[in-house]
């Protein structure tokens, strides 16, 4: 009996060890990072960064004491971060979709899931710049952005009031979220989404159709992956 039982015991022990090892591998691996790694080299790190920065506020409170809207960003999203010089080059000659946003903006958090979905459906990359620091500092970068987009920005009524005797109608402000659709540096359309009715009413079907129509203004040949160092 012992000779017949021993191989069975060894086999069972072997299977137990292998199962435990496999479970350990599954637990320690990150599905999000695996999905992000499947993207192009020029987008994988940006996609994961965008996910982490926006999801970091889930469960946190806003300055008003109200909780941030919880959102979950796909690890294989199509966001590409731009440095300031790259941003200015995009304004000058770029073709594609660009947007201003920041993680703590409540309207941005309502917009993002649908925006990312439409970007995936249309295979368009979303060129992104976080305006928060430059706007708060009102630095040279911010002034250059204001000048470049002067025709598309609202009058600044946050740092000044229309009731002020020295109210300046030429003083502009970058609001978030704000979408721009460019072809060869020319803005073919734009959408200032702060308090937009589609967001305010949470009309996500209408928002999807609205964004899809705007995305389709960009020629399909510009739906390629962002350029890497080897381009």
pLDDT tens digits for the chain (231 residues)? 444 444 554 444 444 444 444 444 333 333 333 333 344 445 899 999 999 999 999 999 999 999 999 999 999 999 999 999 999 999 999 999 999 999 999 999 999 999 999 999 999 999 999 999 999 999 999 999 999 999 999 999 988 899 999 999 999 999 999 999 999 999 999 999 998 999 999 999 999 999 999 999 998 776 655 554 444
Coil, helix or strand for 8? helix
Classify burial at 170, counting beta carbons within 10 Å of its beta carbon; exposed 0-12, middle 13-18, buried 19 or more: exposed
Would you give the DSSP letter of residue 220? G
Domains by residue range for the chain, with CATH: 44-222 (3.40.30.10)
Unique residue bearing structure tokens 């129509």 = 213
Q: Which residues contact 86 (CB under 8 A, 6 or more apart)?
A: none
pTM, two decimals, is: 0.78
Residue 112 and residue 71 in contact, taking contact as beta carbons nearer than 8 Å: yes
Kindly write down the DSSP assignment for every residue of 109-157, as one continuous string. HHHHHHHHHHHHHHT--EEEEE-HHHHHHT-HHHHHHHHHTGGGS-B--
Cα gap 89→83, rounded to integer Å: 10
């Amino acid at each position: 009996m012992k000779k017949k039982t021993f191989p069975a015991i060894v086999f069972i022990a072997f299977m137990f060890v292998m199962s435990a090892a496999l479970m350990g591998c599954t637990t320690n691996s990150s599905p999000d990072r695996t999905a992000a790694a499947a993207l192009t080299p020029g987008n994988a790190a940006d996609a994961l960064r965008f996910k982490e920065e926006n999801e970091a506020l889930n469960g946190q409170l806003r300055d008003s004491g109200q909780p941030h809207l919880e959102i979950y960003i796909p690890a294989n999203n199509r966001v590409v971060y731009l440095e300031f010089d790259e941003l200015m080059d995009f304004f000058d000659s770029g073709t594609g979709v660009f947007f201003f946003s920041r993680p703590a903006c409540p309207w941005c958090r309502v917009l993002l899931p649908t925006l990312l979905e439409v970007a995936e459906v249309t295979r368009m990359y979303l060129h992104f710049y976080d305006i928060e620091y430059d706007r708060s500092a009102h630095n040279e970068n911010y002034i250059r952005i204001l000048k470049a987009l002067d025709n598309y920005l609202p009058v600044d009524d946050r740092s000044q009031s229309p009731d002020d005797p020295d109210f300046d109608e030429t003083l502009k402000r970058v609001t978030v979220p704000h979408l721009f659709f460019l072809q060869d540096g020319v803005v073919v359309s734009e959408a200032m989404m702060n308090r937009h009715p589609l967001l305010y009413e949470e009309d996500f079907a209408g928002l999807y159709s609205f964004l899809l129509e705007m995305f389709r203004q960009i020629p399909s040949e510009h739906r390629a992956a962002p350029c890497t160092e080897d381009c």
